[in-house]
Amino acid sequence: MYNGFYFFGGKTYMVLLLLFVLISLLLHSYVKNSRLRLLFGLISSSFIIAQGFSLFFTQGFIGYQYYVHFTLRGIFDVGALFWIEVIIATVSFVLLNVIFFYSYSFNKFLEKKNNNERGQQFLQYSKIVLLLLASSIILFQGNFLRDSKTLAQLFLPKGAQKFDEVLEENNMADYVRPSSIVAKKGKNILIISMESLERGLLSKKYEHLTPNLNRLKKKWNAIDIYQNEGSSWTSGSLYTMMTGFPAFFGLDPNESFNDSYYSNISSLGHVFKLCGYQSSFIIGMADFSGTLDMVNSFKIDEVYDIRNTKRTGYESWFGLRDKDLFDIAKRELKKVHDESFAMIISTSDTHFPDGFYDDRMEGKVAKRENKLEFMISALDYQVGSLVTFLEENNLLKSTTVYILPDHLKMGDPSMFEGTGERKLFVITNGEIDERTDKLYQIDLPKIILEGAKIEHNLIFLTDYINGDAQKFINNHINEITEINTHGLRNKNIPIHTK
């Protein structure tokens, strides 16, 4: 699935990464002390390898998204999926250290070769020029500083003590907290959040993989949604879809959801509870990234995952397979046939890098060029099957369905060449007001409630924004972090889940 320069984010990023290597090499050539040179080499090599991993995973230099994924728990959970990359990184790390360590000796060798004064001056001036030129390109090109901005800003959160004070400081004193929500029930809600299945997979290039989604796109309503900072991973995108806030939590990202037990931030789950919906969340492994505690904090009634489902032997690193999730959904929908319900399904089989192959889908889905494409078709099949199930059981008319990706595909994006601008989408049988402004993930909870005709008094972050939402988010990361960290209460106590 890898393709040349895209392996590390494209030509520009690869050149910048090589410039980091060049800068490190030049700087090490000035360090005479071997111990210091070894120490600096270890630091420089670690920095370069970390940036390389970031380019591989996120197609950008180290920022908040990379920090979120690079936790010990995350490494142990999915590290085995990338053992080849780990071996390559280890070998590269050793080679870089050897090169940096012997850079001083090589510099001395060149000085001896140019034993006249003019030659040595030319050598030293050339090194300085290269150093300044490489540094200038990195700084003025902008990608490194831009990508690093989201991480750097999170080291300086403000110190407000109470949630009300945080809201008032950020001109959000009228924000409606969960205890003040007023809402009136609308239609049933079914949300299908699909792992990495971005807009390009609905294009003509891949229409053979997604016939059901394309059929629904033409038959129902569809809008484009753009990914915003702070919502580019599964648990972060879920948090945004539920609350309308990007998932910035300072230096404690995914772990912020672990042990959370109460939310001052209003969410879709609070609305579902107030309106009397039987709410459920279906996912492969709810414990991953603290998702279980998060949805409990948002008052979701039932969580179905690998913990409370009979094993089939087809489980992946992320627990239950997509087929099993949709089977559970159909089973539970039969039970709530005469009740008001709100159901969220979060899939994982189309996960980066190559998807998780499920041979149970053979015969239902045609053979594809690779595992990822096969599982994309398998997910498309499951979505189409579930919509047919709703129709056959007279549930579709009373249910507003939302079909959307959780985030853009991570890693090599070359498969999307010729599919247009990379973005997300929402397909729904509900009403969508025509909007002229650019929509982002932070707009999703408002769109979901409107389409389901749920009357409410909530005010979302997007309601406070005039102009481009992404620019606003980039300029207010500290403030959003404050709101999130003061709004989601954490405590190391057991939480009961039905």
Distance, CA of 441 to CA of 237 (rounded, Å): 8
Distance, CA of 58 to CA of 107 (rounded, Å): 36
Are residue 350 and residue 245 in the same domain, yes or no?
Answer: yes
In a domain, 495, yes or no: no
Which range marks the domain in which residue 269 is found?
A: 178-490
Distance, CA of 146 to CA of 22 (rounded, Å): 21
Most confident of 81-85, 373-377, 471-475: 373-377
Q: What angle do CA 149, 439, 60 make, to 5 degrees?
A: 30
Quote the pLDDT of residue 497: 37
Question: For residue 108, what are the CA distances in angstroms to 25, 37, 97, 124?
Answer: 14, 15, 18, 11
**Which range among 56-70, 257-271, 309-323, 363-377 shows the weakest confidence by mean pLDDT?**
56-70
**Which range among 112-116, 326-330, 410-414 shows the weakest confidence by mean pLDDT?**
112-116
Are residue 119 and residue 245 in the same domain, yes or no?
Answer: no
Quote the pLDDT of residue 353: 85
In a domain, 165, yes or no: no
Are residue 138 and residue 71 in the same domain, yes or no?
Answer: yes
Quote the pLDDT of residue 1: 43
pLDDT at 24 exceeding the cut of 80 = yes
The residue-averaged pLDDT of 28-53 equals 92
The residue-averaged pLDDT of 86-96 equals 90
Distance, CA of 410 to CA of 178 (rounded, Å): 34
Q: Which two tokens stand for residue 237?
A: 């995108």
Are residue 137 and residue 195 in the same domain, yes or no?
Answer: no
Distance, CA of 420 to CA of 474 (rounded, Å): 24
Question: For residue 51, what are the CA distances in angstroms to 47, 161, 225, 414?
Answer: 6, 35, 28, 20
The residue-averaged pLDDT of 2-21 equals 75
**Bridge partners, residue 279, by sequence:** 342
Are residue 212 and residue 103 in the same domain, yes or no?
Answer: no
CATH number, position 319: 3.40.720.10
CA–chain centroid gap for 116, Å, is: 57
Integer-rounded Cα Rg, in Å, for the chain is 25
In a domain, 469, yes or no: yes
404's enclosing H/E stretch is strand 399-405
In a domain, 136, yes or no: yes
Are residue 290 and residue 380 in the same domain, yes or no?
Answer: yes
pLDDT in tens, 48-85: 998 888 888 777 888 777 776 665 455 545 555 667 77
Closest residue by Cα to residue 134 from 6, 39, 11, 27: 27
- Cβ 215 vs Cβ 250: under 8 Å: no
Closest residue by Cα to residue 432 from 419, 414, 422, 444: 444
**Which range among 4-8, 120-124, 282-286, 295-299 shows the weakest confidence by mean pLDDT?**
4-8
260's enclosing H/E stretch is strand 260-263
The residue-averaged pLDDT of 423-429 equals 97
Beta strands in 137-220 (DSSP E): 183-184, 188-194
Q: If you ran DSSP here, which 8-state letter would residue 287 be given?
A: T
**Bridge partners, residue 278, by sequence:** 341
In a domain, 21, yes or no: yes
pLDDT in tens, 103-119: 988 888 877 777 777 76
Looking at the structure of the chain, the number of domains it has is 2
Are residue 329 and residue 422 in the same domain, yes or no?
Answer: yes
Are residue 286 and residue 372 in the same domain, yes or no?
Answer: yes
- Cβ 388 vs Cβ 333: under 8 Å: no
Confidence band of 120 (pLDDT split at 50, 70, 90): confident
Q: What angle do CA 452, 189, 423 make, to 5 degrees?
A: 80
Structural domain ending residue among the three candidates 117, 152, 187: 152
What pairing do the DSSP bridges indicate for beta strands 488-490 and 260-263? antiparallel
Go through the chain and tell me how many residues it has.
498
In a domain, 172, yes or no: no
Closest residue by Cα to residue 479 from 171, 106, 198, 265: 171
Are residue 126 and residue 193 in the same domain, yes or no?
Answer: no
**Longest CA pairwise span in the chain (Å):** 93
346's enclosing H/E stretch is strand 341-346
Confidence band of 478 (pLDDT split at 50, 70, 90): confident
pLDDT at 3 exceeding the cut of 70 = no
Quote the pLDDT of residue 492: 44
Are residue 45 and residue 98 in the same domain, yes or no?
Answer: yes
In a domain, 386, yes or no: yes
Structural domain ending residue among the three candidates 152, 187, 216: 152
Are residue 48 and residue 188 in the same domain, yes or no?
Answer: no
In a domain, 159, yes or no: no
Are residue 95 and residue 225 in the same domain, yes or no?
Answer: no
